[in-house]
């Protein structure tokens, strides 16, 4: 209860000075701030098309300011003590503290330092406020509506400005305005999560409009041929179906169950329509073995880190293609993972107490002379940058989230709609974190949704207000 006793007086002080705001004004502020957060993630991913020099630090700063506004608008009542999983909050805070300490000791990227401060000082009060409110449907409905609207704009911008097949930079993989197939896939997967949630929770005819949204999301993900995100998409669809059926059974809503089955049929029918809408040109017919991960060819998530010249990119591509030809028959795991196994082994060997200076210790893999500045695994990235404690604590957080998901899906089932959203959002983040760096809160939609879903995980199922004696 130490953290709660520390933050609750501060939150109540804020509420004392904002209690005059009407509920309508609070809703407008919440939607506005959350819109800034979601839009900033899209701008960050589109930096190679519109704003090449758009820095990660600026993105983190804008997202953090919007998150503070969202937190203030969320305090709509006096906060009292509430039961939460305090130990899990301590894990999150300690991880942030270790990241900040390592950032003071050596260079890890200024956006990572800001992320550490975010985890330490902003996430705890956010978790306390929403665990006390417990109306997670209000939170997730706000996220889902804004996420869907932003994706609609994103889809049409891609259709106009970056149609599929306009170049072969990624061997037929659709990169969109982000010039990054994995980034496009994460945006589509996040939209799919929002669409499924609104499909199940909305009433009336307006839920029908979620069918084309989900179809477009699935179609765009297929076009990217992003293996990690395709796995995440498959899990989300399976979770959504299982949890949707359990939710209907628990609430004895046979009409909703029939609609879910009917909607699933229309999803499959509409997917080719939206793929053709993006002017797909035989993307899915190309050999997936020729896909080369942007592990070696794109710049790092922090724009302050070095990037590759076009000559270096060509060399990396040539070397990777030769490697794939040599292992065409053998297909070892390192080749299948686009060199990730070798990178992960290097990161583990280079682990230390406080991490490493990423500028002075690049990753060198055997199949290319090009230095790589990514671990392509979220836990190992924190391990490499900030040390074993940061990586271990974040791994513990992800491990418990995985346990919570499996318990929700297979044990007690989904009794509330907000649990469905949290399960899908955390699944999308967790699978992506295995093969990519998805840790900065405002760099990807899936990451933002993960942090916004944590109050649902940390709130005890039997959570009741503790009488403040």
Segment 187-204, tens digit of pLDDT: 999 999 999 888 878 776
299: which DSSP letter? -
Give domain status of residue 296, yes or no. no
pLDDT digits (tens, 9 = 90+) for 279-312: 544 444 443 444 444 333 333 334 333 333 333 4
Lowest mean pLDDT among 269-278, 373-382, 458-467: 458-467
- Contacts with 21 (C-beta within 8 Å, 6 or more apart), sequence order: 29, 73
333: which DSSP letter? H
Residue pair 274/219 in contact by the 8 Å Cβ criterion: yes
- Which tokens go with 39? 């839009």
Give the model's pLDDT for residue 226: 83
List the domain range (segments joined by +) for residue 166.
Answer: 2-286+377-458
- Which tokens go with 137? 């449907």
What is the C-alpha radius of gyration for the chain, rounded to an integer number of angstroms?
A: 22
Give domain status of residue 219, yes or no. yes
- Contacts with 406 (C-beta within 8 Å, 6 or more apart), sequence order: none
**Torsion angles phi and psi, residue 459, rounded to 5:** -80, 125
The CA distance from 177 to 47, in Å, is: 8
Give domain status of residue 167, yes or no. yes
Give domain status of residue 93, yes or no. yes
| Opening angle at CA 406, ends 405 and 410, nearest 5 | 125
Residue pair 49/82 in contact by the 8 Å Cβ criterion: no
- Which tokens go with 158? 């891609």
The CA distance from 372 to 308, in Å, is: 10
Give domain status of residue 147, yes or no. yes
pLDDT digits (tens, 9 = 90+) for 100-117: 999 898 888 888 888 999
DSSP bridge partners of 84: 459
Give domain status of residue 332, yes or no. no
Give the model's pLDDT for residue 214: 87
Give the model's pLDDT for residue 292: 40
Q: How many domains does the chain have?
A: 1
Residue pair 437/347 in contact by the 8 Å Cβ criterion: no
Give domain status of residue 274, yes or no. yes
Q: What is the percent of the chain with per-residue pLDDT over 70, rounded to a whole number?
A: 69
Lowest mean pLDDT among 145-149, 307-311, 437-441: 307-311
Give domain status of residue 362, yes or no. no
């Amino acid at each position: 209860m130490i953290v709660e006793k520390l933050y609750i007086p501060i939150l109540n002080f804020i509420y004392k000075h904002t209690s005059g705001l009407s509920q309508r004004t609070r809703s407008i502020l919440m939607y506005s701030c959350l819109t800034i957060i979601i839009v900033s993630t899209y701008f960050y991913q589109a930096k190679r098309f519109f704003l090449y020099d758009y820095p990660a630090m600026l993105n983190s700063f804008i997202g953090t300011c919007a998150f503070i506004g969202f937190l203030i608008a969320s305090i709509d009542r006096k906060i009292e003590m509430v039961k939460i999983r305090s130990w899990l909050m301590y894990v999150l805070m300690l991880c942030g503290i270790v990241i900040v300490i390592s950032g003071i000791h050596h260079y890890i990227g200024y956006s990572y330092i800001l992320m550490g401060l975010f985890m330490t000082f902003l996430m705890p009060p956010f978790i306390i406020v929403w665990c006390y409110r417990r109306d997670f449907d209000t939170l997730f409905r706000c996220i889902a509506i804004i996420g869907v609207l932003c994706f609609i704009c994103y889809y049409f911008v891609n259709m106009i400005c970056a149609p599929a097949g306009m170049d072969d930079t990624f061997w037929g993989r659709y990169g969109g305005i982000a010039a990054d197939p994995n980034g496009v896939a994460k945006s589509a997967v996040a939209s799919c999560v929002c669409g499924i949630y609104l499909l199940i929770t909305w009433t009336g005819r307006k839920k029908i409009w979620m069918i084309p949204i989900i179809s477009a999301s699935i179609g765009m993900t297929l076009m990217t041929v992003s293996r990690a995100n395709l796995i995440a998409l498959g899990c989300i669809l399976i979770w959504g179906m299982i949890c949707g059926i359990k939710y209907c059974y628990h609430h004895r809503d046979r009409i909703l169950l029939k609609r879910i089955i009917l909607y699933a049929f229309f999803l499959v029918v509409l997917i080719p329509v939206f793929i053709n809408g993006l002017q797909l040109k035989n993307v899915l017919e190309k050999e997936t073995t020729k896909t080369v991960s942007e592990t070696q060819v794109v710049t790092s998530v922090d724009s302050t880190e070095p990037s590759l010249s076009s000559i270096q990119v060509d060399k990396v591509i040539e070397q990777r293609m030769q490697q794939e030809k040599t292992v065409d028959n053998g297909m070892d795991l390192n080749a299948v993972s686009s060199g990730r196994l070798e990178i992960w082994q290097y990161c583990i060997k280079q682990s230390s107490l406080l991490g490493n200076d990423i500028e002075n210790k690049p990753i060198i893999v055997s199949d290319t002379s090009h230095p790589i500045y990514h671990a392509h695994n979220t836990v190992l990235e924190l391990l490499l940058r900030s040390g074993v404690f940061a990586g271990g604590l974040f791994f513990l957080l992800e491990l418990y989230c995985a346990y919570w998901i499996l318990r929700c899906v297979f044990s007690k089932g989904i009794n509330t709609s907000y649990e469905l959203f949290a399960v899908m959002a955390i699944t999308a983040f967790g699978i992506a974190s295995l093969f990519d760096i998805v840790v900065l809160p405002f760099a990807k939609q899936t990451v933002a949704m993960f942090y916004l879903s944590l109050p649902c995980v940390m709130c005890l199922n039997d959570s009741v207000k503790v009488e403040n004696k």
